[in-house]
Structure 1
Amino acid sequence: MASLKITNPESNHLKAGLTLEALGDAIEKSGYPLQSSVFELLESDFHVQQEWGFRDRITGEMRSCDLMATRELAAPSAAESRIRTSLTVLIECKQSDLPYVFFSPNRSSWRLKLPQLAGLAQEEVKVWSDDTRSTFLFPVMRALELSEEPFMSRDGFSIMSKCARKGPKLELSGADAYNGIVMPLASAASHFSASSAPKETFRYFDVHLLCVVAVLDAPMVEAKAISSGTELTFTPWCRIYRHEPEDPGVFMGHAGKTMAIDVVHKDFFKKYLTHHLIPFGQTFSERALRHHEVLAAGRAFVPGMKADGSSDIYERLQPPKYIPRPTTRRRRVPQVTGESSASG
């Protein structure tokens, strides 16, 4: 097959005062080379979309995040399952000669909104039992006991700031990190989740484990307050916890919701994928496929909830068709703890 022959017109050239060297320097200082290198790291394990478009949840304007990467997660029973699982990662790339600094160590939240499972009809599993008339609500991640995995229980930070020059000195700007990383990723995740919502008539579901990641080509420094001042340590992976109010009318809305945003140095990103994120995705897939009927229905039976309503929920889950009639008609509303709720 003959190839197309394209001849550059004489008018397509740089104007006076501009050189290809200067243009190359400008490109190197932009974030595009970093985005391209991250794309190359992803494409062997993921299907990658560059400049993935979404609608901003606050302004309603169309925006784009640098990369959306999706990896299908296989399991032996997948062909018989009511769900199909995948790992989806929304990524922003940032480059800077000046460091990003992470403050205020923060424990992992028990009400994480991100990472989340997108694509199910319900975000929670309603549980019946055989020794109480009460029912219990478990977030899907909690029902699968994924929130107890090391990847999910990792501690993080509340504040991320970017250094900027002010004369000969440096100053910190939280607004740059917030507007350039946190808010775009939060809006992109919100759009993806809403776009993945199934119709009421669906019986089979595409379930995405949705994570958001910022990849930095910049020094990353943890700042820890000690008795003698501030201790600074370089770190290749930090998790930012961003707390937001819950939508009105949501049970325990006063507790709000928390997003986990992973911030990873570019030279650690491949290890982050292969040693941490992908293995966690595979664990999610195995557990989700084992209980695909429960996740598809959003309902389950767990024996002995009155006696033990918190431990080994994943192992005790049974499909909703096995829900028996209560053994007692006595009304009981147990104390709310953790992620579960009760109603008579």
Structure 2
Amino acid sequence: MSNQLGAGVTPEALTEAIEKSGYPLQSTVFNLLESDFTVQQEWGFNDRLTGEMRSCDLLAIKELGHLPAKESRIRPSLAVVIECKQSDLPYVFFSPAKRSWRLTLPQITGLRHEHIAVRTDDSKSSWLLTVMQALEIDNDPFLNRGGFSIMSKCARKPKLELTGTDAYNGIVMPLLSAAAHFAKSSEPRETWQWLDAFLLSAVAVLDAPMVAARTTEAGTELELTPWCRLFRHEPETQDAFVPHVGRTAAIDVVHKGFFRDYLLDHLIPFAEKVSTRILRHNEIFATGKGFAPGMDKNSRERIYERLRPTE
């Protein structure tokens, strides 16, 4: 049988079908990443709810500045799980929200400990800090950016209507499951002395109108925007330190035309800042233990500058 298009399938119709799919966008995003990142297309992961094997469009990893192994036990990298979506109809973002103090994505994965136990000289107590708190980077403008708690996609039924199902099933849940799988798979073995530290982030790239909707006394205001942060709150396990607070993940939703600027001006500079700070105190973050003087007197300011390894 010859390799040719069948009856009724024209090159024009096939080209139109391809261009309406998300594959051209995925290829465009891949091309933007490949010069600076190692990129895996159709990266497979196990769904955290069903256990079934799925795939996200792209996993991109960028190794950041690092020291020789004899000087640092940690090799920092940036890891980004990415979903690409294309639509002629808009995605709409509602319910402006501030960042939760317990933001669990972006997160640092690959270390042996999720918290750093800090002892001090003016108290017998110890302080349990998240890695972000110990890095004293949790108040960085990149993390503190405001966002939205609801994302919907427009559909014609036959009038224009909003549906949250497409955005939830096609973007939110796959990215959260992919991030959870990456975090689990990057856990080090007990015998490892040298560790990776991945700044893990989840990003959706859209080739579609992105609209922020805000309700005011005068009515609903609409604004086209190239970057929206979506906050997704989920319950915490009962054995967590503060289970009633839950976990809040941030997914950055970025328009295709802004994606390069997002990488170069926002995400990568933040990742490089994390890398610099984690390398300076690599022994502390490798062991999960540290010392800082005067914690009983001041446990909120300049902790990172006071940190040093335990003897």
Cα displacement (A) at 1:76 = 5.2
> Could you tell me which of 109, 124, 136 is aligned with 2:115?
124
Asked whether the equivalents of residues 92 and 210 of structure 2 are also in contact (C-alpha less than 8 Å), the reply is yes
Moved more, 200-209 or 295-304: 200-209
Q: What is the aligned partner in structure 2 of residue 312 from structure 1?
A: 302
Cα distance in 1 for partners of 2:70, 2:202 equals 28
Cα distance in 2 for partners of 1:75, 1:245 equals 36
Show CA shifts across 1:76-110 (max 9, x none).
56761010000010000000000000000100111
1:110 aligns to what SS in structure 2?
Answer: coil
Higher-Rg member (1/2) = 1
1:255 aligns to what SS in structure 2?
Answer: coil
> Could you tell me which of 120, 124, 146 is aligned with 1:155?
146
Q: What is the aligned partner in structure 1 of residue 167 from structure 2?
A: 177
The code of the aligned residue for 2:186 comes to S
Q: What is the aligned partner in structure 2 of residue 6 from structure 1?
A: none
> Could you tell me which of 254, 260, 268 is aligned with 1:264?
254
Percent identity of paired positions between Structure 1 and Structure 2: 63
> Could you tell me which of 16, 29, 33 is aligned with 2:20?
29
Residue 301 (structure 1) aligned with residue 298 (structure 2): no
2:121 aligns to what SS in structure 1?
Answer: coil
Q: What is the aligned partner in structure 2 of residue 45 from structure 1?
A: 36
Q: What is the aligned partner in structure 2 of residue 286 from structure 1?
A: 276
Aligned length: 311
> Could you tell me which of 222, 227, 243 is aligned with 1:232?
222
Q: What is the aligned partner in structure 2 of residue 60 from structure 1?
A: 51
Asked whether the equivalents of residues 78 and 289 of structure 1 are also in contact (C-alpha less than 8 Å), the reply is no
Cα distance in 2 for partners of 1:280, 1:303 equals 28
Cα distance in 2 for partners of 1:181, 1:320 equals 43
Cα distance in 2 for partners of 1:117, 1:306 equals 27
Asked whether the equivalents of residues 231 and 249 of structure 2 are also in contact (C-alpha less than 8 Å), the reply is yes
Show CA shifts across 1:44-93 (max 9, x none).
11111100000000010000000000000014567610100000100000
Q: What is the aligned partner in structure 1 of residue 73 from structure 2?
A: 82
Show CA shifts across 1:264-302 (max 9, x none).
000000000000001001000000000101100101111
Residue 199 (structure 1) aligned with residue 189 (structure 2): yes
Asked whether the equivalents of residues 77 and 289 of structure 1 are also in contact (C-alpha less than 8 Å), the reply is no
> Could you tell me which of 81, 104, 116 is aligned with 2:95?
104
Show CA shifts across 1:160-184 (max 9, x none).
00000022x2110011101000000
Asked whether the equivalents of residues 164 and 172 of structure 1 are also in contact (C-alpha less than 8 Å), the reply is yes
Cα distance in 2 for partners of 1:87, 1:79 equals 22
C-alpha RMSD of the superposition: 1.0
Distance 1:237 1:144, change over 3 A: same
Distance 1:310 1:34, change over 3 A: same
Distance 1:28 1:79, change over 3 A: farther
Moved more, 77-86 or 239-248: 77-86
Residue 276 (structure 1) aligned with residue 276 (structure 2): no
Cα distance in 1 for partners of 2:248, 2:136 equals 18
Cα displacement (A) at 1:146 = 1.5
Cα distance in 2 for partners of 1:246, 1:296 equals 25
For structure 1, the 5+ residue unaligned runs are 1-9, 322-344
The code of the aligned residue for 2:251 comes to I
Show CA shifts across 1:99-127 (max 9, x none).
00000010011111100011001000011
Asked whether the equivalents of residues 189 and 212 of structure 1 are also in contact (C-alpha less than 8 Å), the reply is yes
2:211 aligns to what SS in structure 1?
Answer: strand
1:267 aligns to what SS in structure 2?
Answer: helix
The code of the aligned residue for 2:131 comes to V
Q: What is the aligned partner in structure 2 of residue 248 from structure 1?
A: 238
Distance 1:318 1:100, change over 3 A: same
How does 1:4-19 map onto structure 2 within 5 Å?
Answer: 11-19=2-10
Cα displacement (A) at 1:11 = 2.0
Asked whether the equivalents of residues 91 and 215 of structure 1 are also in contact (C-alpha less than 8 Å), the reply is yes
